[in-house]
Amino acid sequence: MDTLHALGDGFLVALSFQNLALAALGCFLGTIIGALPGLGPSNGVAILIPLAFSLGLPATPALILLTSVYYGAMYGGRISSILINIPGDEPAMMTCLDGYPMAQAGKAGEALAISGIASFVGAFFATWGLVFLAPQLVKVALLFGPAEYFALFALAFATIGGVAARNQIKAAFATGIGLLIAMVGVDLQTGVARFSFNNIHLYDGIDFLVAIVGLFALSEVFVFLEHRAGGGVDATKVPLGRSMPSAKMLGHVTPAVTRGTIVGFLAGVLPGAGASLGSFLAYMLEKKVSGRKGTFGAGDPRGVAAPEAGNNAAAGGALVPMLALGVPGSGTTAVLLSLLLALNITPGPLLFQKHPDVVWGLIAALFIANIMLLALNLPLVKIFVRVLQVPSRYLMPTVAMVSFVGIYGISGSSFDLLVMVGFGIMGWLFRKMDIPLVPVILGVLLGKLMETNLRRELTISDGNWGALLDSPLSIAIWTCAILGFVLPLFIGRFIRPAAVNNEALDSD
Amino acid sequence: MKFSTFCKAALACALLALPGTAHAFDPGSTECIAPANPGGGWDFTCRQVGKTLQDLGLISGTMQVTNLTGGSGGVAYAEVTGKRNKDNNLIVAASSATSTRLAQGAFPGANMDQVRWIASVGADYGVIAVSKNSPISTLPELFDKIKADPGSIAFAGGSAVGGWDHLKVLIAARKAGFKDVRKVKYVAFEGGGEAITQLLAGSVQAFSGDASEAKGFVDSGDIKVLAVLAPERMPGDFAKFPTAREQGIDAIGANWRGFYGPGGMSDEAYKFWEESIAKLYNSPEWKKVMETNGLAPLDLQGAKFEAFVKDSITDIQGLSREIGLIK
């Protein structure tokens, strides 16, 4: 019960007036940052670091402020996904798939409330996982070498075909484009720049945030412009519907939330995986388990609940390697880590022993932030849904403005803005051709990691491909990928194997 | 111009009255460019130095920190050489990564003479480590093993191939008598933490990184430091680890942190920055910052610093040619 005792001490630290106020401020700012396209959790935290410095905050309050922003942003990302089909940050991408159709069907309030509750549950259990399982979970992270990560990303790619139910070839094409974009920039394993055309701006590759904002937000603006220019009418008013889901519906989504939480948490714990993979796998698993009727993608509440539980659980999970090993499991935890260093706290295996006040204060703050976020988010659903009533002619310029300011604010680079516009045009074309956008981002996000891990393993094994199947864990993951996702496509229906083949080739 | 009249007047005053006490140059609103996102090493350098300069009263007002991301520092370099070449109030954070990129020609059309190298503010020395269970316990032992069977040891580090963590291994390998350093296997990870995790997981056999990255794992006893790539033993917790030099491998790998300014910066301004950063470096406040952040001493200003950067660029070019990264 030492753990509970330590946690109790943590609550004493976190429950001071100043820390509570900071947590509330962090939650509020985080929700907004998460909801605005172009600003995600990692940028939000990075931008607020100077604020923490200039307020002269000591370690624990500074961490409380910034982790509240982190959790808040994970909550907030879903809002714009559901309401305007633009993910506020990258892990919220999967929430678009069913959240937006729900909003279109007049269930925006329910979608927001369900996703809020799912976020709460995911983050709540992930934080408990952090409390009790951190030392054990570190051992799980140590089971994953490059070969196992490669298998894990292969599993993710095996499931991509399921994202777009309608046309597998288009999904494969979109994935290929994503992989191509992921190739741009310096190749870690040789130190040579690829596809950068000697342009210094392309040397570090293309930031997927720029890609996401361009593909989703700007293309939406372009589509709007096109309809206006053609003299089209404004979209018909969408009914707002109820703002709390019925008990029956909550019961209906509970299994989805549970599965999403577990999958997301595990993905978060692995330093090389992260929240995007967590929400993606949570969605795909849910679709596999309960989506046989084809309701997924058309506004199934479980399709909202699973990825939201997943990405918030992953946010908690990512703190496990950060606190227990000093290894960031996501972009945001990397930023938090640099904050710890700046505050004279060396992260690493001894953090729990050396700075228990910091660690347990932080964990207690996570619980508090999580409850605050739920309390903040549920009543606000009624206000958020009003966004749907804002006429597009006001909403779209705002989206465009926020996108530009957000991207420029992070990098200070006008080149990134041009790339973003390029992606906007690409997204607009893809929408016209009915090519799904999500696989493009997944290709960018996961393709690079998959390639890197393959190359690492091959360097270590001196080019022996057999090393990829050298551990029971990697064999197990491969078996999962093949039995669960690839074989059914061949055995079940003979209509689509061609697309799967294409994809397998593309992802090489 | 108004400004140059001011300079002349100030210079005349300084010559007439008390040489050494009055500055010939007094910056207005100062700016520091961090060529990376907030939260990274360059950003930290700018913010800490800016804050300390202000606390010490060496600059008036707050130093503005601008994040100018892209091209691993190349975008900032191009901006400074192209558009801000005459700006006397501007300094830019730099590190070994900057000299590595310059050496390898990764900033197209750029070379080190286009800017003025001002001063260093400290260095993070390299370490080579193995996991605690490894049978290897000295650096020569490690290299003997690689000589006997090059496939048996893979180094992990947090920078790309050809990046600083990799080059440190090669510098040591060359001093250990390797003819063909390309035989030494190196696997790149995203950051030192991930590389150490893979060392603990047993995927790789050795780690190359900075002392500050390894500190947490050294304290916990999970890794065994074979050698510190510093000229002499480091102060503090790392004092118990031998340098590579002590073990007969004369290799030094310092990840330095410092600043450059625009090439067209006036001599007065250059002198101002050089002296201000020297004062900062010698202040107890900065000593504390160095201690808390694992920075080891590296006290170079002006011409000395410039010569240091030049040497390191020449070294890196030689190594990069050897591994075939540049022609």
B280-290 pLDDT tens trace: 999 999 998 88
What residues in B contact A46, CB-CB < 8 Å?
Answer: 37-39
In A186-328, which residue ranges form alpha helices assigned H by DSSP? Answer: 208-212, 219-229, 247-269, 275-290, 301-317, 319-325
Q: For A351-396, how does the pLDDT look when each residue is reduced to its tens digit (9 = 90+)?
A: 888 888 888 888 888 899 999 999 988 888 888 888 888 888 888 8
By Cβ distance, the residue of A201, A272, A348 closest to B71 is: A201
Reported confidence tier of residue A117, pLDDT bands at 50, 70, 90: very high
Measured over the CA atoms of residue A102, residue A107, residue A113 and residue A118, the dihedral's sign is negative
C-alpha distance from B133 to closest chain A C-alpha (Å):
15
**Scanning every residue of chain B, which has its alpha carbon at the shortest distance from the alpha carbon of A326?**
B193
CA A484 to chain centre: 23
Decide: helix, strand or coil at residue B186: strand
How are beta strands B115-131 and B206-210 bridged, if at all?
antiparallel
C-alpha distance from B150 to closest chain A C-alpha (Å):
10
C-alpha distance from B246 to closest chain A C-alpha (Å):
28
Measured over the CA atoms of residue B151, residue A182, residue B82 and residue B39, the dihedral's sign is negative
Q: Do B200 and A334 touch (CB under 8 A)?
A: no
Fold of domain B124-247: D-Maltodextrin-Binding Protein; domain 2 (3.40.190)
C-alpha distance from A350 to closest chain B C-alpha (Å):
6
Q: Do B198 and A192 touch (CB under 8 A)?
A: no
DSSP string, A242-262: -SS--HHHHHHHHHHHHHHHH
Reported confidence tier of residue A507, pLDDT bands at 50, 70, 90: very low
Q: Do A200 and B74 touch (CB under 8 A)?
A: yes
Quote the tokens at residue A233. 């009418």
Average pLDDT, chain B: 87
Decide: helix, strand or coil at residue B192: helix
Quote the tokens at residue A259. 């599965």
Selection from A2-16, B38-52, B97-111 with the highest mean pLDDT: B97-111
Q: Do B154 and A459 touch (CB under 8 A)?
A: yes
Quote the tokens at residue B166. 């990799």
Reported confidence tier of residue B155, pLDDT bands at 50, 70, 90: very high
Q: Do B217 and A327 touch (CB under 8 A)?
A: no
Contact assessment for residue A79 and residue A99, using Cβ atoms and an 8 Å cutoff: no
Q: Which residue has the tokens 């060359």?
A: B174
Q: Do A342 and B44 touch (CB under 8 A)?
A: yes
Q: Do B40 and A338 touch (CB under 8 A)?
A: yes
Section B120-127 average pLDDT: 93
The predicted pLDDT at position A116 comes to 92
Q: Do A201 and B198 touch (CB under 8 A)?
A: no
Q: For A200-244, how does the pLDDT look when each residue is reduced to its tens digit (9 = 90+)?
A: 888 888 888 888 889 988 998 998 888 876 544 455 566 667 778
Q: Do A145 and B201 touch (CB under 8 A)?
A: yes
Q: Where are the domains of chain B?
A: 2-123+255-322, 124-247
Identify from A148, A200, A210 which residue to disrupt to test chain B contact, counting B C-beta atoms within 10 A and taking the largest count.
Answer: A200
Reported confidence tier of residue A481, pLDDT bands at 50, 70, 90: confident
Q: For A34-55, how does the pLDDT look when each residue is reduced to its tens digit (9 = 90+)?
A: 888 777 787 788 778 777 777 7
Selection from A13-17, A356-360, A403-407, B88-92 with the highest mean pLDDT: B88-92
Decide: helix, strand or coil at residue B254: strand
What residues in B contact A45, CB-CB < 8 Å?
Answer: 39
Contact assessment for residue A313 and residue A268, using Cβ atoms and an 8 Å cutoff: yes
Q: Where are the domains of chain A?
A: 2-506
Section B2-27 average pLDDT: 49
By Cβ distance, the residue of A187, A203, A412 closest to B71 is: A203
Contact assessment for residue A108 and residue A388, using Cβ atoms and an 8 Å cutoff: yes
- CATH homologous superfamily, domain B2-123+255-322: Bordetella uptake gene, domain 1 (3.40.190.150)
Quote the tokens at residue B286. 């900065």
What residues in A contact B222, CB-CB < 8 Å?
Answer: 349
Decide: helix, strand or coil at residue B129: strand
